[in-house]
């Protein structure tokens, strides 16, 4: 007997898919807890070379909290990934524009710091690539905070999907 298909698909998008989006994906999986098995959470980048590992800083901040990103490999965001997703969370307005150019409908593409409304737009998630370890730690703190906020409406959508 095969495992049930995920009821929801969540896609996180950043630039290189080696820092923010893979960290956001593990943060949301952790926040979803038992519900994570029913949600496919993945990540991609708008300007990446496919197959790159997570950055050293991302590996370190994730490991410090007990998460393993060693199997992560970057991939480019595609029309197919966007179409398959129920929610697409991006790190900036530029990422939103890139996803919308791929046909991502406005109602399912959200800047991670701004959703659900009113969000916390005063806590944007800056790209730590090439910066200090402290920059990675701050990025991780913000992503964990945003994932806690996002998890509740994702769980609600999951419950609604199960009912219908």
Active site residue 14: yes
Out of 14, 19, 75, 96, the active site residue is 14
* Rg of the chain on CA atoms, in Å: 15
C-alpha closest to that of 123 among 134, 112, 132: 112
**Inter-CA distances, 158 with 13, 15, 40, 89, 138, Å:** 21, 28, 11, 17, 30
Out of 60, 83, 86, 127, the active site residue is 127
Q: Any idea which residue has 């959470």 for tokens?
A: 41
Out of 19, 20, 142, 144, the active site residue is 20
In eight-state DSSP terms, residue 103 is T
CB 40 within 8 A of CB 6: yes
Active site residue 127: yes
Q: What is the set of active-site residues?
A: 14, 20, 127
């Amino acid at each position: 007997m095969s495992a049930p298909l995920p009821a929801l698909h969540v896609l996180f998008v950043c630039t290189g898919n080696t820092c923010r989006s893979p960290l956001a994906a593990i943060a949301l999986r952790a926040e979803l807890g038992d519900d994570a098995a029913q949600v496919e959470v993945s990540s991609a980048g708008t300007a990446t070379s496919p197959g790159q590992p997570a950055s050293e800083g991302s590996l370190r901040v994730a490991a410090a909290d007990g998460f393993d990103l060693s199997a992560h490999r970057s991939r480019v965001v595609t029309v197919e990934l966007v179409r398959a997703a129920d929610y697409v969370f991006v790190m900036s307005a530029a990422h939103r524009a890139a996803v919308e150019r791929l046909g991502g409908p406005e109602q399912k593409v959200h800047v991670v710091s701004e959703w659900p409304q009113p969000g916390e737009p005063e806590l944007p998630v800056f790209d730590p690539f090439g910066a200090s370890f402290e920059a990675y730690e701050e990025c991780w703190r913000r992503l964990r905070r945003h994932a806690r906020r996002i998890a509740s409406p994702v769980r609600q959508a999951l419950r609604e999907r199960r009912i219908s």
